[in-house]
Amino acid sequence: MTSIWVGTKVRLRGIEPEDWEAFQRFDENSADMRSADLMYPPRSAAGYRQWAEEQSARQPADDEFMLAIEAIDGVLVGSVSLPNSDRVAGRFDYGVSIGHEYKRRGYASEAIILVLAYMFGERRYHKCEVSILAVNEPSILLHQNLGFVHEGRRRDHVFFAGRHQDVVLMGITAAEFWDRHGERTPQVVTPR
Q: Is pLDDT at 192 greater than 60 in this prediction?
A: no
Cβ proximity of 172 and 147 under 8 Å:
yes
DSSP assignment of 32-92 equals HHHHHS-------HHHHHHHHHHHHHPPPBTTBEEEEEEETTS-EEEEEEEEEEETTTTEE
Instruction: Provide the pairing of β-strand 91-98 with 127-133.
Output: parallel
Fold of the domain spanning 10-181: Aminopeptidase (3.40.630)
Reference 80, options 133, 171, 28, 5; nearest CA is: 5
Residues 9-35 pLDDT 10s = 999 999 999 999 999 998 888 877 776
Cβ proximity of 81 and 66 under 8 Å:
yes
Residues 59-88 pLDDT 10s = 877 799 999 999 999 999 999 999 999 999
Using CA atoms, how far apart are residues 83 and 131, in angstroms rounded to an integer?
12
Residues 109-125 pLDDT 10s = 999 999 999 999 999 99
Q: What is the pTM of this model?
A: 0.90
